[in-house]
Structure 1
Amino acid sequence: MPADLAFYALAIPAVVLLGLSKGGFAGMGALSVPMLVLATDPLRAAAILLPILIVQDVVGVWAFRRTVDWYVLGWTLPGAVLGIALGYFFAASVTPEAVMTAVGGISILFGGYRLWVERRGVPKASHAPGWVGSAAGVAAGFTSQIAHAGGPPFQLWVIPRMLPRDVLVGTTAIFFAVVNWVKVPAYVALGQFTPANLWTSAALMPVAIGSTVAGVWLVRRVPAERFYTAIYVLMILVGAKLVWDGLA
């Protein structure tokens, strides 16, 4: 288990961001892996965070289990399973940096477009066909398997549907709870659930649970209009961080 303060100086804020994301502030968690990569290699960073994500999912799913859009899950989850399989089989030839750059660029473009639409007036809901959701699920599963960065592809299809705030949070929580469990066999096969990595995850677990509960409390006190605007701004910031890390 890492003993240097520099590692935990990055790991603790990364886990807090994950907790706020799982509590409802979608988008924040995408910064966690890039932040932790500053202290360790990308695959190990993702492996350390996966057990934390699974525990945090319990809090988010329990808090928003009654507000779920099953239509969205029905179209996105099968695609996500396929995307996770592709991410595992092509892990040797596809670098996390390349995936981060692509996802970051899409995130910046989409977040900027939605903010521009809002400035022109009340944004209108957009209901793309279900197969688009399946494609978004494949992309979300693939990028989630590589770098826990499945949020932007998932949001590309879901956010324009303008779901009520709690329904969006609940649907997102259940989607990624399932995705994270599906990723477990792949990380076992990659040999990343070592005792050292699991002990590091356990040491960070209290921070993970506390920040998730804080996120649930905060998201229910933020007005819906500001909630969506905050997501678009976060997508731009996360996208810029992913592009910077990918190119660097």
Structure 2
Amino acid sequence: MALAAAIIGYSKTALGGLGVVAVAIFATVLPARESTAAILMILIVGDVIACWHYRRDPDWGLIRRLLPAVIPGLLLGTLFLRVVSDDTLRRWIGAVLLVLLGLQLWVKWRARDTPPTTHRHPGAAIAAGSAMGFTTMTANAAGPVMTLYLSAAGIDKRRFVGTSAWFFLIVNLTKVPFSIGLGLLHPVDAVRALALAPFVLLGGLLGYATVRRISQRGFDVAVLLASALAAAALLLT
């Protein structure tokens, strides 16, 4: 759990897609449904740390574009949690992420000499927001989807991480009542999150240092590789 907490901290301040690796670790330590709520509280700790580091960097225009579609995704994810097994759902999400990654690489290859515009289409924001609502509710796996969307937006690395941090702080706080309603979230989860907070902070500081030192091109490549690793982690858990 300490390792997973450090990975969460690192993912929140550097490479968002890696957070799903922590999800996979928690799913091996705790029962799958229990791990969903347990890791949610730790994610919120990581969100707060990341938002402090990147408090001046979010692109609120992108956040406002995505948020309206998140609630339908959360509702659909809540319904699916009641009827679909976690293992089947996690592997399905991993497969979808691999498809999205392939599409993103294809778009980048086709548009190497033109500025990215796909993210500006209203349909792209609706699809991405709904997908993030669904995947975050069912498997805390929205990080790679956000990574792919922001990668398509072509924004610089600090704005990339800052936008992701503030978006997920809002979304994860919104998920709390849904998790309570499903009977998954308990006081012990908050206590565990506080105990693991130092490891989240350590990972967050390492991630922040990474973003400061890595080049923009290296960052772009790293976030796509993190998405691929995250998808593999979901498929193999």
Say whether the fold is shared (TM-score over 0.5): yes
Structure 2 residue 129 is the aligned partner of structure 1 residue 171: no
Match of 1:109 in 2: 99
Q: Which has the higher contact order (CA 8 A, sep 6+)?
A: 2
Post-superposition Cα deviations, 1:158-214, rounded to whole Å, max 9, x if no partner, equal 211111111111111111111100000011112233243333222212111221122
Mapping for residues 22-101 of structure 1, pairs under 5 Å: 22-101=12-91
Name the Cα RMSD after superposition.
2.1
Residue of structure 2 in register with 1:237 after alignment: 229
Structure 1 gaps, min length 5: 1-10
Change (3 A) 1:39 1:120: same
Percent of aligned positions that are identical: 30
Give the conservation status (yes or no) of the 8 Å contact 2:20–2:233: no
What displacement does 1:232 show?
Answer: 1.1
Contact 1:36 1:45 in 2 (8 A): yes
Distance between the aligned counterparts of 1:103 and 1:75, measured in 2?
23
AA aligned to 2:188 is A
SS in 1 for 2:16: coil
CA contact (8 A) 2:15 2:226 kept: no
What is the distance in 1 between the residues matched to 2:191 and 2:133?
Answer: 26
What is the TM-score normalised by the length of structure 2?
Answer: 0.90
Matched, 1:203 2:200: no
2:225 partner SS: helix
Q: 1:195 to 1:61 in 2, by over 3 A?
A: closer
Q: 1:113 to 1:87 in 2, by over 3 A?
A: closer
Post-superposition Cα deviations, 1:20-58, rounded to whole Å, max 9, x if no partner, equal 011121211011111111121112112111121112111
Change (3 A) 1:42 1:124: farther
Deviation at 1:113, TM superposition (A): 5.2
Runs of at least 4 residues of structure 1 off by over 4 A? 112-124
Q: Which residue of 1 aligns with 2:116?
A: 126
Say if 2:124 is the partner of 1:153.
no
d(CA) in 2 for partners of 1:49, 1:30: 10
Deviations 1:194-243 (A, max 9, x none): 24333322221211122112211221111110011011111112111211
